[in-house]
Structure 1
């Protein structure tokens, strides 16, 4: 498997998985994508159902990382996906399931379910990929006797997931940028209470998009990046995106009972039953993984993009207009991890939408930089979106509160604010006979203030997070200036 840039597919030699593992943007400012998507067969899909999560992850990742020998990859996934690491299971089954599928109930002639992705050490779906990334990074660095300085940006959950995955890792230092005073108290405490010597928190005086722009500016400074061995764990990192593909397969495999599988024991892939997924979306990485799974042949009917009031993605899928917002236009909401107005991974889908024409992709994102966006409304590309299964919707604070209350009353289940955005939008796209799976984003304790507003009581809290807000916090406040962040990284970087 080889990889090319979304902005220069015809330039230079294709790269291997290990070539791009530690980096972020391609040298031309694009994102890495596989030359083509590996395809699964119906027999493979039936075989996958017999595997636990670690073995399934090895099977999927092996299709994209064929320069890591199979035994090593299997050892890495076994070390990552354990009941001890993913121990915060709340509802549907034993921790050994890693991502249990929890059925809420029957609505609209089908089943509405939650795929539990928040059972890891930071109680957010980001742990699913980040824990693997930590082990992959450590393996690659040890092999090359190298060091790495990770510079990342977070709107809430990526930061803590990265820091918990990388803390104590040999040869790695983490510099995590977050928007100053724009995350929940729990999210800030998770990140800033860490005092590991290889972890550095920088609170940027701005919004998440400012943090993301600084990370991209550093990634685009080739000399600085090489001198200080800079890598990234943001969702522009291909390894993180492809690790998320695994749980789409896991969700699909769990959606049907033994009788349904027996009824399709000899069916070809195109005759297998379909499911739909709804994904709370900000940076497009999580739902991009669903797009990749669908391109591999996983029988997905719809990929529902659910946004909050920061509805750049919803606007695009409804109208064809991709219009980024300024920092002043980006709203601070009660689902803060989605307070994003520049969806970094969106370029990966546009690459496929433009039939992998890298020159057109480069032109479109030059228009984003110079004019604030582009418009595909009324074009053949906009008409083609439906062939990729994408639909979208938005919700607001009142919708979140109402959905949290309804799910609690109807199903005795407490969901977080981002998952509430997902459930709210999912209900608009239910199809009889097509199971709808909402990807759970985080555990409710991370957004206690809004849960108290909705339900009048505190959300449940795992014992190891009791009192976390009272711990001393370690953070440096910086202006939204790339040069200031670069100076900090240079001063504190790994040798």
Structure 2
């Protein structure tokens, strides 16, 4: 298994080099040269595996043996030892046709822990093996930053800097990042939105001399290892369902902002997991819904919503989907992405829209509908959703073809992380102890303008002090 770029100008590289590169040095995203196929017999053989053992099987299809099996198994075991559920990701049945896969039982109560706890351990493993310092740099709309910091805080050979949009994440998300006072952690609070943070990060990774000088590594979903780690839970959810449910077809409803979570499901489907519908759930920042429904990919006015982790206009993983949609034609992808950069939008022909809609269904959830979904499911099932998970449920209700088999909706965060929205409904919840204790801790962050120059100055100071 080798890896190349969606833009075709990265020489084929191995698993570890792919992991370390993060963003392709040609500005594209790294993808496998071929996607392994999983047979029905393999799925049957995996049906009784624990989450950890299933992840070992799937990752072994991609790692080329570059990580000895014993080491890979230990990395996986260590990554999920801190999850509060014995199942790691429990599947909750709400009715005969709807199941909820709870992805929030990790240290920061968000689905990002599923991939980032592993990635943090893998970075530490590689840093030790190669005797290198790893400088992780990322942008977050809330959950990625908290999870990434949790995964590497205090670890030898690793430093991490996370950019988050000032005042545009939930209070708990902010506290989970900024109450960490380890010397290897820098929080930059940017006066802008998530897309501004993400653009600075992308420009820094595209600056090859700067990236090389400071050994920059990616933790965002631009890193294919994160996509691969998230693909595992689609297999796991499918395998937990009763045989009768699987026989009638399995669909997924997926809250997504950066296209990473749903692309992980798309990857699982391309590997052979028998998924019928992939329902893409967005909030009022609905560029992805308009892409699926109308064939127009165009950022429009940013809106703050009750689901801030999805308050994203430019989805970094869109290019990976475009690569496969374009028949793995790197030149065609490059042409379209250059057009998007120059014109600010992409328009797809009617026959292309028809093909997109064979892959994806999309639904945009407004603020009022999001809150109403939370209230309805609390009243109907006694099940409290966070606003992002509620978008997934609302999309299942509004766009899912319920005659097409059972649905698994992804619950991406614990409701305690977004109590501001929950309290609007008059619902009181008890915070987990690890969240409650955050409110008494001092914050450590640096507020900066939306300026690449200012961010670079902070980074160079951070690296100099910790050299």
Contact 2:91 2:240 in 1 (8 A): yes
Contact 2:365 2:394 in 1 (8 A): yes
1:486: Cα distance to partner? 1.4
Within 5 A, what are the aligned runs for 1:70-469?
A: 70-82=69-81, 85-87=82-84, 95-106=85-96, 111-257=97-243, 273-325=248-300, 329-378=301-350, 380-388=351-359, 390-428=360-398, 429-432=400-403, 434-454=405-425, 456-469=426-439
1:122: Cα distance to partner? 0.3
SS at 2:424 equivalent = helix
1:260: Cα distance to partner? 6.6
Within 5 A, what are the aligned runs for 1:50-69?
A: 50-66=48-64, 67-69=66-68
Contact 2:248 2:406 in 1 (8 A): no
Deviations 1:389-424 (A, max 9, x none): x11000111101110000000000000000111100
For 2:100 and 2:12, locate their aligned partners in 1 and report how far apart those are by CA, in whole Å: 38
Aligned-residue CA RMSD in angstroms? 1.3
Deviations 1:243-293 (A, max 9, x none): 001000011011225x678xxxxxxxxxx6531001101000011000000
SS at 1:460 equivalent = coil
Name the residue aligned to 1:17.
Answer: 15
Contact 2:6 2:28 in 1 (8 A): yes
SS at 1:332 equivalent = coil
Q: Does 1:490 align with 2:466?
A: no
SS at 2:363 equivalent = strand
1:126: Cα distance to partner? 0.3
Deviations 1:208-245 (A, max 9, x none): 00000000010000000000111110110111110001
For 1:185 and 1:80, locate their aligned partners in 2 and report how far apart those are by CA, in whole Å: 26
1:433: Cα distance to partner? 5.7
SS at 1:197 equivalent = coil
Cα distance 1:207–1:55, how it changes in 2: closer, same or farther (>3 A)?
same
1:180: Cα distance to partner? 0.5
For 1:362 and 1:273, locate their aligned partners in 2 and report how far apart those are by CA, in whole Å: 40
SS at 1:18 equivalent = helix
When normalised by structure 2's length, the TM-score is 0.97
Mind listing any 5+ residue stretches in structure 2 that lack a counterpart? none
1:376: Cα distance to partner? 0.5
For 1:74 and 1:185, locate their aligned partners in 2 and report how far apart those are by CA, in whole Å: 36
For 1:320 and 1:12, locate their aligned partners in 2 and report how far apart those are by CA, in whole Å: 29
1:470: Cα distance to partner? 3.2
For 1:460 and 1:368, locate their aligned partners in 2 and report how far apart those are by CA, in whole Å: 46
Deviations 1:468-494 (A, max 9, x none): 223210000011111211121111125
For 1:407 and 1:157, locate their aligned partners in 2 and report how far apart those are by CA, in whole Å: 24
For 1:373 and 1:255, locate their aligned partners in 2 and report how far apart those are by CA, in whole Å: 40
For 1:256 and 1:202, locate their aligned partners in 2 and report how far apart those are by CA, in whole Å: 46
Contact 2:80 2:106 in 1 (8 A): no
SS at 1:283 equivalent = coil
For 2:209 and 2:49, locate their aligned partners in 1 and report how far apart those are by CA, in whole Å: 44
SS at 1:432 equivalent = helix
Name the residue aligned to 2:2.
Answer: 2
Contact 1:307 1:338 in 2 (8 A): yes
Name the residue aligned to 2:34.
Answer: 36
Contact 1:172 1:198 in 2 (8 A): yes
Contact 2:10 2:25 in 1 (8 A): no
For 2:450 and 2:21, locate their aligned partners in 1 and report how far apart those are by CA, in whole Å: 22
1:12: Cα distance to partner? 4.9
1:15: Cα distance to partner? 0.8
SS at 1:279 equivalent = strand
When normalised by structure 1's length, the TM-score is 0.91
